[in-house]
């Protein structure tokens, strides 16, 4: 039956009322934030997996105002760096976890978070946790989102939205060392048969393929975080029985070696993938600065976890209901044995958004957004 004029008008009004805000946002250049990585930026994907790595238990999220202090699956007391960057760059809502039942329709136009606690560049990374999303799977999921965007906006507008108005954030690599290469039992065969150079070569080769695949799916604005000083986290300091001002050398040496190769990779991709901008976030130096000069930034401790149990630095047991909890979360660089507090994330995020080439290059994130 043919639709009469009145019905057509009503339908147009309904469609615009539903999609109008997002169409206006797209036209204003806000675009979307697509987040890939590990537990540093996971916003709840692991809630929907059968995994030993979960953060949807108290007191995680105690300072996350958007949830009223309830845990959401973020591995910190408040917002992640991904949340903070999205806020500052104009995202009206946080990027929604891909595995969330609500990650459909208009919700994906603000961006989607694919990050997963325990995930890594290498597919075998994090297998001790059983369930987790590695980088390859995360890109598989973005491919699904990419097709959904075509359906929502139309092929031409969706391509423009992804290429020109969206930022792709990748925070990954630490687990490839902590929960793969450095594991004393599960990975001992790999460590005997593969040198650090060989393992890092495989990491860089995989990451090159992964970033190129995202490029072929129309990603153009990238920010890639290097691996932080993983030898300085409370877990490593506790199990190695270090003093307050010491860090474990081998993990940090591996991180520095990988970070040098990552810088070279991004230079290569900037030269060889037309129209793309690959930005390097120097997380290693940013976090090391907070750890070394913590008092300068108003922190009380950069060695002890605010929420944890076991050992000198509360670094053995992950944060949970039975953990010891510090009295002032804003005074600790580390929330738990592995992850920064929201207070530390705020300082790091500010440097990535508006900082200079020492910490973010070749452009900071505000300039990347406006390219």
Catalytic residue (choose from 42, 303, 339, 359): 339
Residues 6+ apart with CB under 8 A from 236: 230, 242, 247, 248, 251, 315
Structure tokens of 363? 């452009």
336 catalytic residue (yes or no): yes
The Cα–Cα gap between 174 and 37 comes to 10
Q: Which of 171, 286, 309 is nearest to 229 (CA)?
A: 286
Among 176, 218, 336, 359, the active-site one is 336
Q: 360 is written with which tokens?
A: 């973010």
- Alpha helix segments (H runs only) across 73-153: 81-88, 135-153
CA distance 281 to 339: 17
Q: What is the DSSP string of 218-237?
A: T--EEEEE----GGGSHHHH
**Catalytic residue check, 39:** yes
Annotation says 202 is catalytic = no
Out of 33, 38, 39, 63, the active site residue is: 39
For residues 39 and 339, the answer to whether their CB atoms sit within 8 Å is yes
> Residue 75's closest CA among 309, 340, 352, 344?
340
Question: What is the residue whose two structure tokens read 């903070």?
Answer: 84
Measured CA to CA in angstroms, residue 318 lies from 67, 305, 335 at distances of 21, 9, 10
41 contacts 33 by C-beta, under 8 angstroms: no
Catalytic residues: 39, 336, 339
């Amino acid at each position: 039956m043919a639709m009469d004029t009145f019905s057509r008008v009503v339908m147009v009004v309904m469609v615009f009322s539903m999609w109008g805000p997002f169409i206006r946002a797209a036209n204003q250049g806000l675009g979307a934030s697509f987040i890939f990585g590990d537990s540093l930026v996971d916003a709840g994907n692991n809630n929907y997996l059968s995994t030993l790595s979960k953060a949807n238990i108290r007191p995680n999220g105690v300072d996350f105002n958007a949830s009223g202090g309830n845990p959401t699956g973020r591995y910190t007391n408040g917002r992640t760096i991904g949340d903070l960057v999205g806020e500052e760059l104009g995202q009206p809502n946080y990027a929604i976890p891909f595995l969330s039942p609500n990650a459909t329709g208009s919700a994906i136009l603000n961006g989607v978070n694919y990050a997963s606690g325990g995930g890594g560049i290498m597919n075998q990374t994090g297998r001790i946790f059983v369930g987790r999303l590695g980088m390859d799977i995360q890109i598989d999921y973005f491919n699904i989102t990419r097709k959904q965007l075509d359906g929502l906006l139309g092929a031409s507008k969706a391509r423009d939205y992804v290429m020109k108005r969206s930022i792709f954030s990748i925070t990954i690599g630490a687990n490839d060392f902590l929960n793969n290469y450095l594991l004393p039992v599960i990975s001992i065969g790999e460590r005997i048969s593969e040198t650090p150079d060989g393992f890092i070569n495989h990491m860089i080769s995989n990451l090159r393929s992964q970033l190129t695949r995202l490029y072929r799916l129309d990603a153009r604005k990238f920010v890639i975080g290097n691996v932080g000083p993983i030898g300085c986290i409370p877990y490593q300091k506790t199990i190695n029985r270090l003093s307050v001002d010491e860090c474990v050398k081998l993990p940090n040496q591996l991180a520095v070696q990988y970070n040098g190769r990552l810088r070279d990779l991004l230079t290569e991709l900037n030269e060889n993938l037309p129209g793309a901008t690959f930005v390097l976030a120097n997380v290693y130096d940013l976090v090391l600065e907070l750890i070394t000069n913590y008092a300068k930034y108003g922190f009380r401790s950069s060695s002890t976890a605010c929420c944890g149990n076991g050992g000198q630095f509360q670094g053995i047991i992950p944060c949970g209901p039975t953990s010891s909890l510090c009295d002032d979360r804003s005074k600790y660089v580390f929330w738990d044995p592995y992850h920064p507090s929201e207070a530390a994330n705020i300082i790091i995020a500010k440097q990535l958004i508006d900082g200079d080439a020492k910490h973010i290059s070749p452009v900071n994130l505000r300039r990347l957004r406006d390219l």
